[in-house]
Amino acid sequence: MKFCAVKQYFDDENNNNITSGASTTMIPLPNVESHPLAILITYCKKHLKIKANNADNKKETEKEMEQYEQELLKKVMPQELTELILAANYLNFKEALDFFCRAVASAIQNKSIEFVRKFFGLESDFELGEEEKLREEFAWSFEGVDED
């Protein structure tokens, strides 16, 4: 089971000898919103499906997975990535966490300081003197190295 947090829940239940009985079980996930959860479930299913299809061929698995990931990234808004990471972190879903972290890193790679701040909605909280010094010392990092 990929969602390790959910798996842990089931393990805990078994340890407490609570019979779950029917196939429907309610598992509370207080820190996950519906939208990222839906994406994560789709990702997980796709991941398992590709793995099953290419059981012997690891390279093929990776290739197909990459293609799927590229397509997924096109549909996901950059700002949603943060929510996805939080959800994957809470669910302890390692592959998805790794993928989304990589996606965020690629989004800000080779960009200037101003771009990164704008992208994440961050503001500089350096002291005025420090900000001046940074601008002077790292002039190259304020010009967009890549076009936004």
Q: Using CB under 8 A, pick the residue from 123, 128, 129, 148 that binds other proteins.
A: 123
Binders of other proteins among 68-97, rule CB under 8 A? 79, 82-83, 85-86, 89-90, 92, 97
The Cα–Cα gap between 38 and 83 comes to 12
Q: Is 102 in the site for other proteins (CB under 8 A)?
A: yes
Cβ closer to other proteins: 47 or 115? 115
Q: Using CB under 8 A, pick the residue from 7, 14, 31, 45 that binds other proteins.
A: 31
Task: Report whether 93 contacts 86 (CB < 8 A).
Answer: no
Q: Is 122 in the site for other proteins (CB under 8 A)?
A: yes
Question: Is residue 18 packed enough to be buried (19+ CB in 10 Å), middle (13-18) or exposed (0-12)?
Answer: exposed
Q: Is 17 in the site for other proteins (CB under 8 A)?
A: no
The candidate with the shortest Cα–Cα distance to 2, out of 93, 69, 98, 100, is 93
